[in-house]
Amino acid sequence: MKKLLNDPWDVIELLDNKSNIYVENANGYGEPGYTVEEGKKGILLGDWNEFDKYPNIMGFIEEHFEIEWNDEWVVDRDNSKAYRCSPDCYSWQPAHIIHETGEVLGVDTINDMNDDEVKELLDELDYINNPKTAINLNGFKPRGEDITKSVLGRDHGESGWHPGQDDSPDTMLLKAQEIDNPTGSYYFVVDYTRQFDIGFSIYKF
């Protein structure tokens, strides 16, 4: 077992050779609110139900690694960061997107892009001038101008269970094109999520 202290790949190789169990790894968390405990060597993600018959291996893994379920987390392999993809509360918002290529892009990577790169990404993923989509990212720094107040007279659009929470992104986009620029580039951002409603804004590049 001492050999396994050298590298997470040693653990992965052992499991693969022993019983064809697939485990993924990441050096750290990209997900807000999570950190790797001091002394641990990173994060392993797997289906831990498969380890019931290997208690010694499981005990070693729990001692030396953070463990997460692989159906609740994804990994940005370029930056070796793990992101939750399954909500853990009503207000949860993802901190990553999955590109149509399958690449995981963390919110920090997107925030580090310049305006042209962000616009190109949103265009690739069909967010531009599409009232059926919205950027839903924890910590996202919107680009361009927030024109929600000009369109609605309020800071946020709302959609939810309570009376009056029935703002329509379709109507907001049409209004933005009418009062601003019919050929402009607009996109929506989710500002918050709660148990019974969400808030969102409209931006223009």
In the chain, alpha helices (H): 8-19, 55-64, 107-111, 115-124, 148-152, 169-179
pTM (2 decimals)?
Answer: 0.87
Q: So what's the pLDDT on residue 18?
A: 65
Q: So what's the pLDDT on residue 68?
A: 96
Q: So what's the pLDDT on residue 57?
A: 78
β-pairing, 197-204 vs 145-146, is: antiparallel
Nearest to 97 by CA among 112, 113, 76, 77: 76
Q: So what's the pLDDT on residue 3?
A: 53
Per-residue DSSP letter, 166: B
Q: So what's the pLDDT on residue 54?
A: 73
Q: So what's the pLDDT on residue 67?
A: 94
Question: In which residue ranges of the chain is pLDDT below 70?
Answer: 1-9, 16, 18-20
